């Protein structure tokens, strides 16, 4: 038996698509978020970056608007990454934070902008710390420092969407006192999501009973088999646009917009959210190529409609990569690799059009139409088998994945 999801988890699943932001001192170097570790920089050498951190172009309102225009429903910000630098006011716990460097509480600005734009603010927070000496020297004291830090985030910014932790994988044999950490969150933010990233080596692994979502890092998520679980757990896959989470000035190895659209579809096929990362530059700008990709994602989402949010994995099955989602009223058939209609003199590889087959369609179909233009499509239903004429893209268009809405008889 599959458990009923708690309200916060059901609402999270309905969001479908979110923005991940990796921003911190490391952004100034443009060599990724792990540069302190990969370049073997000393604690003292790395800390000097705080002297030049201005966040002059970090515009939380613009970021939140960009997320909204891109079809995203939530934003997860690195309030503190592994370098130990906090974008929030640590209230005297440390002077290694944004208010002590640029005179601004960037998390305050972030939360206010999210609330204004209708985006759910979620706080990424490292559990490992390369700056805090107690992490290596007095782990019990460090855990107190970590819990006190999280308590600040839970009490100083109003209602938040959740906490997204990352780092327990670095000390798998240690007792991280997750009971105490999550108790602190539930005390102050009972409706907040709790996520603890299992890392590249344990994608999709479940953990502590308070965890609300498993994580998949890079690649594609696997289906969640929730039958018999004591609690319904969501799933989320986080993805970089290139090969780094933090700004990589020399990283030109970008995934294509086509790949990211298909990845979003593959995530929703198995009921997982897609958390797509941006790495602002040292001043806080989302660089143009990343903004353009986000706009492209938003353009596609507007073509397919709300089914990308409210649609759930379906027993209706298509051929090859084609799949279906269902909501309370309709089914939505996702079709890959359609060709463009046009003259053979200009159209490259015009195949892929024609009748597409889906099975396990248990209800009587009344209408099949494209979500992008509303055109009715010819179909044949025999028992629980459905074929519909997947007309190609009009010349001048190619939406990568095209979605057909199936309406059923009452």
Alpha-carbon span 397 to 17, nearest angstrom:
24
Choose one of 279, 309, 339: the last residue of a domain: 309
According to the model, what pLDDT value does residue 228 have?
A: 81
The mean pLDDT of 157-164, rounded to a whole number, is 98
Q: Note whether 251 and 318 are same-domain residues.
A: no
Q: Is residue 335 part of a domain?
A: yes
pLDDT confidence tier of residue 386, bands split at 50, 70 and 90: very high
Q: What is the pLDDT of residues 210-228, one digit of tens each?
A: 999 988 888 778 887 888 8
- Joined tokens for residue 66: 């960009």
Q: Note whether 259 and 337 are same-domain residues.
A: no
Taking the model in full, what pTM does it have?
Answer: 0.95
Q: Note whether 293 and 325 are same-domain residues.
A: no
Q: Is residue 2 part of a domain?
A: no
CA 24 to chain CA mean position, Å: 19
Query: Contact at 8 Å (CB) between 23 and 81?
Result: no
According to the model, what pLDDT value does residue 204 have?
A: 54
Q: Note whether 324 and 248 are same-domain residues.
A: no
Task: Tell whether the model's pLDDT for residue 203 goes beyond 80.
Answer: no
Task: Tell whether the model's pLDDT for residue 198 goes beyond 80.
Answer: no
Of 75, 400, 113, 31, the residue nearest 238 (C-alpha): 75
Q: Note whether 266 and 384 are same-domain residues.
A: no
Q: C-alpha angle 145/148/154, rounded to 5°?
A: 145
Task: Tell whether the model's pLDDT for residue 29 goes beyond 80.
Answer: yes
Q: Which of 46-50, 80-84, 199-203, 226-230 has the lowest mean pLDDT?
A: 199-203
- Residue 280's domain comprises 7-309
Q: Give me the helices (H) in 156-256, please.
A: 178-188
Task: Tell whether the model's pLDDT for residue 82 goes beyond 70.
Answer: yes
Q: Note whether 373 and 264 are same-domain residues.
A: no
Percent of the chain whose pLDDT exceeds 90? 84
Q: What torsion, rounded to 10 degrees, do the Cα atoms 277, 282, 284, 287 define? A: -60
Q: Is residue 271 part of a domain?
A: yes
Calculate the alpha carbon distances from 386 to 101, 170, 312, 383 in Å. Answer: 62, 50, 19, 8
Q: Which of 42-51, 68-77, 229-238, 339-348 has the lowest mean pLDDT?
A: 339-348
Choose one of 309, 341, 373: the last residue of a domain: 309
Task: Tell whether the model's pLDDT for residue 24 goes beyond 80.
Answer: yes
CATH code of residue 254: 3.20.20.80
Q: Note whether 322 and 240 are same-domain residues.
A: no
Q: Is residue 1 part of a domain?
A: no
Q: Note whether 21 and 34 are same-domain residues.
A: yes
According to the model, what pLDDT value does residue 395 have?
A: 86
Of 134, 23, 31, the residue nearest 80 (C-alpha): 23
Q: Note whether 83 and 110 are same-domain residues.
A: yes
According to the model, what pLDDT value does residue 348 have?
A: 62
According to the model, what pLDDT value does residue 340 have?
A: 84
- Joined tokens for residue 319: 């051929």
CATH code of residue 348: 2.60.40.1180
Task: Tell whether the model's pLDDT for residue 191 goes beyond 90.
Answer: yes
Q: What is the SS3 assignment for 184-196?
A: HHHHHCCCCEEEE
Q: Note whether 345 and 201 are same-domain residues.
A: no
pLDDT confidence tier of residue 290, bands split at 50, 70 and 90: very high
Task: Tell whether the model's pLDDT for residue 298 goes beyond 80.
Answer: yes
Task: Tell whether the model's pLDDT for residue 25 goes beyond 90.
Answer: yes
Q: Note whether 374 and 289 are same-domain residues.
A: no
Cα R_g (the chain), whole angstroms: 23
Count of domains forming the chain: 2
Q: What is the pLDDT of residues 325-384, one digit of tens each?
A: 999 999 999 999 998 876 555 556 555 678 999 999 999 999 999 999 999 999 999 999
Q: Is residue 204 part of a domain?
A: yes
* DSSP, residue by residue, 302-358: HHHTTHHHH-EEEEEEESTT-EEEE-SS-EEEEEE-PPBPS-TTT-SS--S-EEEEE
Q: Note whether 254 and 136 are same-domain residues.
A: yes
Backbone angles phi, psi at 394, to 5 degrees: -60, 145
Choose one of 309, 343, 361: the last residue of a domain: 309
pLDDT, greater one: 2 or 321: 321
Q: Is residue 83 part of a domain?
A: yes
């Amino acid at each position: 038996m599959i458990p009923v999801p708690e309200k916060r988890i059901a609402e999270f699943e309905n969001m479908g698509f979110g923005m991940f932001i990796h921003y911190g001192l490391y952004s100034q170097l443009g060599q990724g978020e792990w540069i302190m570790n990969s370049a073997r920089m000393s604690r003292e050498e790395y800390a000097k970056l705080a002297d030049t951190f201005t966040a002059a172009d970090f515009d939380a309102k613009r970021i939140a608007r960009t997320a909204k225009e891109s079809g995203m429903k939530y934003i997860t910000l690195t309030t503190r990454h592994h370098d130990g630098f906090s974008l929030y006011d640590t209230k005297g716990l440390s002077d290694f934070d944004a208010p002590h460097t640029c005179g601004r509480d960037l998390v305050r600005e972030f939360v206010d902008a999210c609330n204004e734009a209708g985006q759910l603010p979620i706080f990424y927070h490292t559990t490992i710390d390369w700056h805090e000496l107690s992490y290596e020297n007095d782990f019990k004291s460090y855990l107190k420092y970590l819990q006190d830090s999280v308590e600040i985030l839970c009490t100083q910014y109003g209602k938040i969407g959740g906490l997204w932790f990352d780092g327990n994988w670095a000390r798998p044999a240690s007792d991280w006192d997750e009971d105490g950490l999550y108790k602190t969150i539930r005390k102050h933010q009972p409706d907040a999501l709790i996520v603890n990233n299992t890392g590249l080596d344990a994608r999709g692994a479940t953990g502590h009973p308070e965890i609300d979502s498993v994580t998949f890092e890079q690649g594609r998520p696997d289906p969640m088999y929730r039958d018999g679980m004591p609690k319904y757990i969501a799933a989320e896959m986080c993805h970089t646009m290139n090969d780094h989470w933090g700004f990589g000035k020399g990283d030109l190895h970008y995934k294509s917009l086509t790949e990211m659209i298909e990845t979003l579809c593959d995530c929703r096929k198995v009921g997982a959210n897609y958390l797509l990362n941006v790495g602002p530059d040292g001043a806080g700008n989302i660089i143009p190529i990343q903004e353009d990709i986000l706009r492209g994602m938003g353009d596609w989402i507007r073509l397919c409609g709300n089914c990308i949010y409210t649609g759930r994995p379906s027993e209706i099955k298509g051929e090859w990569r084609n799949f279906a989602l269902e909501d309370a009223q309709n089914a939505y058939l996702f079709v890959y690799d359609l060709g463009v209609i046009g003259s053979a003199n200009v159209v490259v590889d015009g195949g892929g059009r024609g009748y597409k087959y889906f099975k396990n369609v248990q209800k009587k179909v009344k209408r099949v139409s494209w979500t992008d233009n509303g055109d009715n499509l010819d179909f044949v239903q025999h028992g629980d088998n459905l074929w519909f004429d997947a007309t190609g893209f009009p010349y001048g268009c190619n939406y990568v994945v095209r979605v057909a809405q199936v309406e059923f008889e009452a």
